[in-house]
Structure 1
Amino acid sequence: MASRTSVTGAGGSESTVAAPRSPWLMLTIATIGFAVNFWAWALLSPLGPLFRTEGTVGTLSESDVALLVAVPVLVGSVGRIPIGALTDRFGGRLMFPLVSAATIVPVLFLAFFGLDSYALLLVGGFFLGIGGTTFAVGVPFVNAWFPPERRGLAIGIFGAGMGGTAISALTTVKLYNGPGHKVPFLLTAAILAVYAVASWVLLRDAPGRTPPSGSLVTRLVATAKLPISWQACILYAVAFGGYVAFSVYLPSYLKTAYDLTAADAANRMAGFVAVAVLMRPVGGWLSDRLGPIPVLAAGYGVVVAGAAVAASTPLLEWIGTVAFLAMAAALGSGSGATFALVARVVEPSRVGGVTGLVGAAGGLGGFVPPLIMGYVYGRTDSYAIGLGLLSVTAALTLLLTLTVVRSTANKAVQQR
């Protein structure tokens, strides 16, 4: 609990107020919340290959599985826009427990109603997207607790909470096939409930936080007009969107392209996620020291090469593994660098709104590729076209980074 300190009022009397919480404690609790909610958000992805061949809902096509794992991503992405603006208004101390508690409902719905019907799986997956909105809660919350020179690292550490998808990948299939189909959902719901209570008790908004004035719509429109908003949206759609796309679709891809078992594919996806998660705070830390632009440019350059190599479907051992892990590192560091850029360019009172828009773009960037990959593979029996498109997209984003985004960042520095 926070310590107490005495403050002498104007009349000489003493009043007792709570001393501020440690920024690092707030960062730790927020990161745990992000990880727990992302764990819930990613529950359906590891089960995708099983639903295709062994599930209780009947045999699903590749496109059916792609849609199933992409729906939570879509809702979690679009939902970040209002959630980010609401966080600016009400603070993370309220929004973290509220979003965590709300996510429990679709998790339990899937456990008790969704596992026997594809339609109900889609309904549960739709509302499961609520868990994905916690990103737009945590970035403005953490940003307000740290000085500008440490925000890249702090937001990068918070962003490592996306490793909740790795927890899901490592545990969901084993629990589903072992103790019972409902177990992974019931376990996640219980942990969400514990976190909702703990965050309500422990979290505090940063001292001096000033809620913005104006209506939600007015603030969203003003935020959308900022040049950095649309630029960061593109950067994050490729960086974090690429990460999300691989994290939800990689198990199906590896099982189909390389004939791996569902468990082996999920474990390899967890390795991809682990590398990306570890590199996200590294990207923020490097951005604090070198600037976000060089970190972003290097990351997109690696994705250009890695996706081009993967498009040839090389041997998974060595060449294929190196290509995917290199892309994981690049996408993770690029995700961290994007919000280091936002923290550097955007005034604190607007960070939540910008984060909502940018986070939505990142999630949408992860929603589209699985659908394209599933559609193209269903008609060509090849993933090369989809991976080739990723390489071209990364190349165009690299060009944007070195020109327009660099100019915006330089102007922001000159104005301060």
Structure 2
Amino acid sequence: MNEQRIPRSWLMLALGTGGQTASTTALYGMPFLVPAFQRELGLSLAGAGVLVSCPVIGILLGLIGWGVVADRYGEQKALAVGLLAAAGVMAGAAVVHGVWVTGVLLVLAGAVGSSVHSASGRLVIGWFPPDRRGIAMGVRQASQPLGIAAAAAALPPVAHHAGLSAAFGLCAALCGAAGLAIALFAVDPPRPDRPAGGVRTPAPYRGGHLWRLHGAAAVLCVPQFVVTGFSLLFLTEARGWSPGAAGGVLAVANLAGAGVRLLAGWWSDRAGSRIRPMRLLAAATAANLVLLTAGAAWDSAFATAALLLASGLTVSTNGLHNTAVAEYAGPDWAGRALGVHGMGQHAAVVLVPPLAGALIADRGYTPVFALAALFPVLAVVLLPAADRAAYWPGPRAAGRTPPAEVPR
């Protein structure tokens, strides 16, 4: 065992997770600035919602391009350039005024900041051997609920007391600090050596394995966004909780969701499989959402317990399918594959909030939860029958010939 690589791998994990957390706070924290958008920019709720969607649009535009950059030029360059560029764009948003220019800058921030979605996963996968990648990617994926929690805690009070410009400035500072740390300390993982005159591995999209992973991950995002997007409203409107109590409980539930991702990653490492735990967790999610539907239909307190459990289960597979995609695609293609993977997930959920909100307003929560329960069932069907051997053997196996593409 190369003893020097173990501490370096954890440093790379910390840097990748820090970059993902900073990007999440800045790009996914816009919902917490809706009151400031209305107050300072004079927007309606619908208009503020458009600004909230602007970074997501930018992410969709930038994911595959950043994957190409990470594959060709390395993870460190993609992460550092993307985060520092996002810091510059958010700093620009802090000093300009006007709805249109703010919207354009937020789209641009999403486009440049999306480098973390493609490159940070590569950085983690490349520095960890296969039997530790599940837990490592679970740590990396935990950065998303941590970033949302940071945005919820910091952005509203900053915007309330110091204005929208200060909130954008805080986002810029977080992205800048993460980008600078990566520029100074991140090191690209070793890649398996090729024989003299060797060529890049063939595109991993021959056959349906990756496409089925992309599809399963995309449909699993739908119940996740239904639960996270409407939990607060359900607890306050349907269950009669106070906003403060509901927010506090949901914050704890989201932090518990980060722990669930770690446990799922640990499980996949022990099982030597990403697909089997994903299939079982998707089935458990479907069963949980059926119970939530029944509780909502009968106006039972049981619905509250089911909702809080769903907060963890609906996010439990995030690290697993990202790991499976990167491992199968290998070091030559993982950046692009993760870009396509993230693009599919974002595209799948763009219309979830407005459509689910309209259905709740017209029919209540029961049909929304019932429809959400169908998507993890679809994921079980879409998932590949078995794991495939990875083209990315890990840092301790660098230099070995990639294994054949056969079921484990």
- Tell me if both proteins adopt one fold, taking TM over 0.5 as the criterion: yes
Structure 1 residues 126 and 98: alpha-carbon distance in aligned structure 2, compared to 1, 3 A threshold: same
User: Counterparts of 1:308 and 1:227 in 2: how far apart (Å)?
Assistant: 30
User: Counterparts of 1:72 and 1:340 in 2: how far apart (Å)?
Assistant: 25
Q: Which segments of 5 or more consecutive residues in structure 1 lack a partner in the other structure?
A: 1-17, 212-217
Q: What one-letter code is carried by the residue in structure 2 that aligns with 1:94? A: K
8 A Cα contact 2:279 2:380, kept in partner: yes
Percent identity (aligned): 21
8 A Cα contact 1:20 1:207, kept in partner: no
User: Counterparts of 1:363 and 1:75 in 2: how far apart (Å)?
Assistant: 11
1:231 maps to: 212
1:123-151 CA distance string (max 9 Å, x none): 34322323344121111121111122222
1:353-364 equivalence runs, <5 A: 353-364=336-347
1:192-220 CA distance string (max 9 Å, x none): 22222221110111134679xxxxxx99x
8 A Cα contact 1:302 1:326, kept in partner: no
Q: Does 1:275 align with 2:275?
A: no
Q: What one-letter code is carried by the residue in structure 1 that aligns with 2:39? A: G
2:109 maps to: 128
User: Counterparts of 2:94 and 2:299 in 1: how far apart (Å)?
Assistant: 35
Q: What one-letter code is carried by the residue in structure 2 that aligns with 1:134? A: V
1:5 maps to: none
8 A Cα contact 1:284 1:336, kept in partner: yes
1:9 maps to: none
User: Counterparts of 1:204 and 1:184 in 2: how far apart (Å)?
Assistant: 31
Structure 1 residues 202 and 407: alpha-carbon distance in aligned structure 2, compared to 1, 3 A threshold: closer
User: Counterparts of 1:256 and 1:112 in 2: how far apart (Å)?
Assistant: 38
User: Counterparts of 1:196 and 1:315 in 2: how far apart (Å)?
Assistant: 50
Q: 1:57 aligns with which of 21, 35, 41?
A: 41
Q: 1:153 aligns with which of 135, 159, 163?
A: 135
Q: Does 1:141 align with 2:127?
A: no
8 A Cα contact 1:46 1:266, kept in partner: no
8 A Cα contact 2:75 2:188, kept in partner: yes
Aligned-residue Cα RMSD (Å) equals 3.5
8 A Cα contact 1:303 1:394, kept in partner: yes
1:95 maps to: 78
How far is 1:235 from its partner?
2.1
User: Counterparts of 1:20 and 1:153 in 2: how far apart (Å)?
Assistant: 14
1:45-80 CA distance string (max 9 Å, x none): 2233x369x63334624x545544333223324422
1:406 maps to: 385
User: Counterparts of 2:232 and 2:74 in 1: how far apart (Å)?
Assistant: 36
User: Counterparts of 1:257 and 1:127 in 2: how far apart (Å)?
Assistant: 38
Q: Which segments of 5 or more consecutive residues in structure 2 lack a partner in the other structure?
A: 195-199, 391-403
2:24 maps to: 38
User: Counterparts of 1:385 and 1:77 in 2: how far apart (Å)?
Assistant: 29
2:185 maps to: 202
8 A Cα contact 1:70 1:371, kept in partner: no
User: Counterparts of 2:75 and 2:140 in 1: how far apart (Å)?
Assistant: 13
User: Counterparts of 2:186 and 2:312 in 1: how far apart (Å)?
Assistant: 31
Structure 1 SS opposite 2:31: coil
Structure 1 residues 255 and 169: alpha-carbon distance in aligned structure 2, compared to 1, 3 A threshold: farther
8 A Cα contact 2:286 2:377, kept in partner: yes
User: Counterparts of 2:388 and 2:220 in 1: how far apart (Å)?
Assistant: 18
Structure 1 residues 381 and 362: alpha-carbon distance in aligned structure 2, compared to 1, 3 A threshold: same
1:301 maps to: 283
User: Counterparts of 1:189 and 1:317 in 2: how far apart (Å)?
Assistant: 44
User: Counterparts of 1:179 and 1:413 in 2: how far apart (Å)?
Assistant: 56
How far is 1:410 from its partner?
8.3
User: Counterparts of 2:248 and 2:386 in 1: how far apart (Å)?
Assistant: 41
State the TM-score, normalized to the length of structure 2: 0.80
Structure 2 SS opposite 1:164: helix
8 A Cα contact 1:30 1:158, kept in partner: yes
Structure 1 residues 307 and 20: alpha-carbon distance in aligned structure 2, compared to 1, 3 A threshold: closer
1:344-390 CA distance string (max 9 Å, x none): 53333222221111121222233231131234345x16344333221
User: Counterparts of 2:246 and 2:166 in 1: how far apart (Å)?
Assistant: 21
State the TM-score, normalized to the length of structure 1: 0.79
1:100-111 equivalence runs, <5 A: 100-111=83-94
8 A Cα contact 2:356 2:368, kept in partner: yes
1:175 maps to: 158
Q: What one-letter code is carried by the residue in structure 2 that aligns with 1:289? A: R
User: Counterparts of 2:331 and 2:96 in 1: how far apart (Å)?
Assistant: 43
Q: What one-letter code is carried by the residue in structure 2 that aligns with 1:334? A: T
How far is 1:244 from its partner?
5.1
User: Counterparts of 1:305 and 1:121 in 2: how far apart (Å)?
Assistant: 42
Structure 2 SS opposite 1:204: coil
- Range with bigger deviation, 237-246 or 142-151: 237-246
User: Counterparts of 1:55 and 1:317 in 2: how far apart (Å)?
Assistant: 38
User: Counterparts of 1:251 and 1:154 in 2: how far apart (Å)?
Assistant: 30
Structure 2 SS opposite 1:333: coil
1:80-109 CA distance string (max 9 Å, x none): 222122211111111111111111234234
Q: What one-letter code is carried by the residue in structure 1 that aligns with 2:21? A: A
Structure 1 residues 208 and 407: alpha-carbon distance in aligned structure 2, compared to 1, 3 A threshold: closer
Q: What one-letter code is carried by the residue in structure 1 that aligns with 2:143? A: G
1:372-409 CA distance string (max 9 Å, x none): 1234345x1634433322111122212333xxx12464
Q: Does 1:292 align with 2:274?
A: yes
